[in-house]
Chain A
Amino acid sequence: MKNDNRNAIIAIEDSIVQVRDLNLFYGTSQALFNLNFDIPRNKVTALIGPSGCGKSTFIRCINRMNDLVDSVNINGSIQLDQQDIFDKSVDVIDLRRKIGMVFQKSNPFPKSIYENVIYGLRIGGVTEKPVLEEAAEVSLKRSALWDEVKDRLHDSAMGLSGGQMQRLCIARAIAVSPDIILMDEPCSALDPRSTAHIEELIRELNGEYTIIIVTHNMQQASRVSDLTAFLYEGELIEFGKTTDLFTVPVKKATEDYITGRFG
């Protein structure tokens, strides 16, 4: 245990996720140290920090993607709606349906655009065609892709541009109506225009979904998020309103990082 991070819990009236004393080990090496913070409902929270500080590791805890890595050991708790997600009674499949995820590298399935969007519903057992079509349209509209693809829904998703693919992945995540959407550097492989498009989309989704976004781009974090967490070497250094964190950082390390002195 290095220092106590409890001071990072800031007063949030309506939080959806509460992280308490979270430690994570890859085998014997510890990647996350004693994390404690609350994530507000229906707001955008950004995670920033230098490469290798544990941002991806952390957000993969929230939908338990780390279960897929054999060497991972976790202690502490993450509460989602007053339920510890690591509890044995929690069905990880249900959990993941409540939490969508968008990866850095857009990876649509080699199926049609339509099939991509409704994949989550299909595997959830939805078979009624009208329901599926409705869901596809709604989520594609939400992800601002509808106008571009409405005439070629049944074409392969591989024919889309990189930015469109990433929006398709967002649509795919939205289609199962999750409570939370996790985004791990969703724009880092995109050109500025597509990036602007996705940022716009995130702002639009703000208020309807709880979004946790990992980014290396300070401007992006300040443009799209309400709150920002700064992670450094597996520890939460500072967490607060985005406007505050970028203008009057409390910690020296935060200031150094956002002014570009390291990282």
Chain B
Amino acid sequence: MKSKYWREGEPFVWGSGAALALILLLILTLLVVIFKNGLGVFWVSPLSHLEMQDGSKLMGEVVQSSVMSMRDEPRSQLKIANRDLYSLDFKWVSDKDIKQVTYPQDAILIERQEYGNFVGFLSSVTLLNQPSLPSGEYATLLAGLDDLKANMPELEAVKSQISDLNYRVESLDHKLAKLRFRGEEQGDDFQQLTMQKELLQTEFQTLVTTLNVLQARLMQNTARFTDASGTMLTIPLSAMVRVYKPNNLSFFAKVSLYLQKTRELFFDEPRESNTEGGLFPAIFGTVLLIIIMAIFSFPLGVIAGVYLREYARDGFMVRLVRIAVNNLAGIPSIVYGIFGLAFFIYGIGSSIDQIFFPAQLPAPTFGTGGILWASLTLGLLTIPVVIVSTEEALGAIPGGLRESSYALGATKFQTLTRILIPLASPGIMTGFILAMARAAGEVAPLMITGVVKLAPSLALDGQYPFFHLNRKFMHLGFHIYDIGFQSPNVEAAKPMVFVTTLLLIGIVIALASTAIFMRNRMKKKFAIAD
């Protein structure tokens, strides 16, 4: 009996089943944690107003509850916000110290440009040049914010004009530097450019004045609030991002807020050293990085794989190359980063600067980290995966198909393009998917090839020549590291870490499922009979 049990390998079946279950469990736990925390961030939670035994009052949202192991006491963490008043956003309170908990209907939450959220109560609103005021302070506040929003486009227009001017002055500077470099400081061109620059600078001054006036006017609209313990605080309306009463929201209002915040996440710039606001530049940077990486590495990898499998004579050299390629995939990514820094940035980038932008030196143009170099570095990192999968996909094609094609008078190239590549494409796609997923998740090599905490401008925008691949960029993976571990207020950044992680996973899944969808269509199209 026992020998049969062992002979049929029953324990191994159980063992492998258990191993698989364990792995699935780990992955599932990870996903559940990320999804639960990430998806919940934008859902409005109620503000609890706590009256303590000692008479003090606190207000905030309960973030988590736990039992303190030492004294066996339940306690809760409260996000009390109001960083400008209390200097800390979070506070632990022991449940036995609480006398009473209420959820006041008129408690108000303000998302601000600075100092994080404010929670408290509205007392009065001061609006200048607002002829017809609605009744009620809260309605007045909302009306003031609407008015502000209506003024926003004007402000934005001035700001974008300023940044345009900046860019133009900068390119004039480049031209001037070039002329100076050639020693043509006395030439007509130089004089003309200098005049142009002066014109631009006066224009610039007027714009800045306009901006200041606008901003000062907006600053005059303010509202006064009290916090839970009665401290007064005046906040200008222009510092407010969003105002609502968390305890007085219908379900639909909450849903709508949730959607608003999600929209903001996707399309807005970050605020407050990245712990609040949107992730648009980081999403943009991540996707653009992967796209440039793909443009560089996929064709090259496929061509190399095709060469190795179909053209190179199988000999010592080819085997050596194959081993080398396989091992390349195992090199730590930071090493690629260092290589990228040395080869692309210091090597190629500096040479480009010397040849094409000598006038700007010593300020580097391409000789410093940028999205192009980071993409190329990631490309190097992923090329082995593409090569190996291309080779394997070609190798898996039955020899008979190849021979039939040759027997019909096809050349090697025709056989490749008409039979082999289409047939291998699902396998090659698998390589792409793996490469993309790997590239999207890499952070280490980016940190030395051009990723930044906050990029002033995108690598692709409306300013000629549209692509600015030498620019620095933001990246979701780096964002996670930065706000999770480098931010001054880690606790406040925690929700954002989860959201960013969720987003990064989302992007990887979206890219991968597009690729998988395409692969399945190819598979169906090029299925081989056996």
Contact A96-B529, Cβ < 8 Å, known A65-B403, A123-B414: no
Are A120 and B409 within 8 A (Cβ)? yes
In the complex, what residue of chain A is closest to B422 when comparing beta carbons? Answer: A110
* A 198-224 binary contact with B (CB < 8 Å = 1; else 0): 000000000000000000000000000
Bound complex: CA A169 to CA B408 (Å): 10
- CB neighbours (8 Å) of A109 from chain B are 401, 404-405, 419
* B 388-428 binary contact with A (CB < 8 Å = 1; else 0): 00000000001011011111111100100011001100000
Q: How far is the CB of B49 from chain A (nearest CB, A)?
A: 69
Are B527 and A68 within 8 A (Cβ)? no
Q: Count how many pairs of residues, one from A and one from B, have CB atoms less than 8 Å apart in the complex.
A: 70
- CB neighbours (8 Å) of A101 from chain B are 404, 407
- Give the interface size class of chain A: 20 to 34
* A 112-128 binary contact with B (CB < 8 Å = 1; else 0): 00000001101110000
Contact A93-B401, Cβ < 8 Å, known A70-B313, A110-B525, A158-B527: no
Contact of A94 among B404, B409, B414 (CB under 8 A): B409
Contact A93-B411, Cβ < 8 Å, known A123-B418, A169-B404: yes
Contact A176-B408, Cβ < 8 Å, known A109-B401, A123-B414, A123-B418: yes
Are A96 and B409 within 8 A (Cβ)? yes
**In this assembly, does B181 line the interface, its C-beta being within 8 Å of a C-beta of chain A?**
no
- CB neighbours (8 Å) of B313 from chain A are 70
- CB neighbours (8 Å) of A93 from chain B are 409-411
Are B419 and A107 within 8 A (Cβ)? no
In the complex, what residue of chain B is closest to A103 when comparing beta carbons? Answer: B400
**In this assembly, does A165 line the interface, its C-beta being within 8 Å of a C-beta of chain B?**
yes
Contact A110-B409, Cβ < 8 Å, known A103-B404, A123-B414, A123-B418: no
Bound complex: CA A94 to CA B410 (Å): 10
A3-59, CB < 8 A from B? none
In the complex, what residue of chain A is closest to B313 when comparing beta carbons? Answer: A70
Contact of B400 among A105, A119, A173, A176 (CB under 8 A): A105
In the complex, what residue of chain A is closest to B314 when comparing beta carbons? Answer: A70
* A 84-98 binary contact with B (CB < 8 Å = 1; else 0): 000000000110110
In the complex, what residue of chain B is closest to A68 when comparing beta carbons? Answer: B406
Bound complex: CA A257 to CA B259 (Å): 83
Are B418 and A96 within 8 A (Cβ)? no
- CB neighbours (8 Å) of B414 from chain A are 123
Q: Which 4 A-B pairs have the closest CB atoms?
A: A97-B409, A107-B400, A101-B407, A120-B408
B interface residue numbers (CB < 8 A to A): 313, 398, 400-401, 403-411, 414, 418-419, 422-423, 525-529
A interface residue numbers (CB < 8 A to B): 63, 65, 68, 70, 93-94, 96-97, 99-101, 103, 105, 107-110, 119-120, 122-124, 156, 158, 165, 169, 172-173, 176
23 interchain pairs (CB within 8 A)?
A65-B403, A65-B407, A68-B406, A94-B409, A96-B408, A99-B407, A101-B407, A103-B400, A108-B529, A109-B405, A109-B419, A110-B422, A110-B525, A110-B526, A110-B527, A119-B410, A123-B408, A123-B418, A158-B528, A158-B529, A169-B404, A173-B407, A176-B409
